[in-house]
A and B are shown apart, each in its own frame.
Chain A
Amino acid sequence: DAGVIQSPRHEVTEMGQEVTLRCKPISGHNSLFWYRQTMMRGLELLIYFNNNVPIDDSGMPEDRFSAKMPNASFSTLKIQPSEPRDSAVYFCASSPPPPHGQGETQYFGPGTRLLVL
């Protein structure tokens, strides 16, 4: 079975440009999570969706960040405009519905390495 798919794997952009990260969760999973990983702050939850509905976006840094999940098999995380401090690895994760879990067994994608110059 395919795991969580993320694209692109690497992104280099200039400050001020729009960046869009994409995620395809594991088929049948109904929860999707976006994380950011940096050396300084570790793994931080940005936002998560349940059944395509955003549940908690309290981790989104600021208004420059937005996320959507138009259907069960696709989600985007957009940064506009991007800044150098947004440079990090962004992970998408998904988890199955009960009885296989309640969001705790999360499966991560390979991540997108973002560098904003």
Chain B
Amino acid sequence: GQQLNQSPQSMFIQEGEDVSMNCTSSSIFNTWLWYKQDPGEGPVLLIALYKAGELTSNGRLTAQFGITRKDSFLNISASIPSDVGIYFCAGHLGAQKLVFGQGTRLTINP
């Protein structure tokens, strides 16, 4: 089946630093999404990307849908403690099914 390779698996950064993570796939997706999961909660949708090349921002978050439709990245600028959590990319091909990456665990040192 389709697989998403998300990297890095974990990040340890200082508060105020910028963060970058990405997802790649051997398959083409029509939509890329980024979710964040806090401990003990369900994933929360951060950004959805619908067109190849699309660059979308949501506050300090910026995500792009790769031109080849096989990759996407998420950047977080000026990280703050509440950014801690696990970030998941997800690809949507059709038939309402999402394929999720393995997640990037973000830890921030104050």
- Which residues of chain A have a CB within 8 Å of any CB of chain B? 4, 31, 33, 42-43, 45, 48, 50, 55-56, 91, 93, 95, 102-111
Q: A42-B102, A42-B103, A43-B88 are in contact. Are A104 and B42 (CB under 8 A)?
A: no
Q: In the complex the two chains form, what is the Cα distance from A40 to B97 in whole Å?
A: 21
Range, interface on chain B: 20 to 34
Q: How far is the CA of A109 from the CA of B94 in the complex (A)?
A: 22
B48 touches A104 (CB 8 A): yes
Main secondary structure of the interface of B (DSSP, over half): strand
A-B contact count (CB 8 A): 55
Residues of B within 8 A of A48 (CB): 96-97
Q: Which residues does B use to contact A, with CB under 8 Å?
A: 30-31, 33, 35, 40-45, 48, 88, 92, 94-98, 100-103
For A108, the chain B residues whose CB sits under 8 A away are 35, 42-44
CB-contact partner of B95 in A42, A56, A93, A95, under 8 A: A56
A50 touches B42 (CB 8 A): no
Write out the residue numbers on chain A whose beta carbons fall within 8 Å of the beta carbon of B102. 42
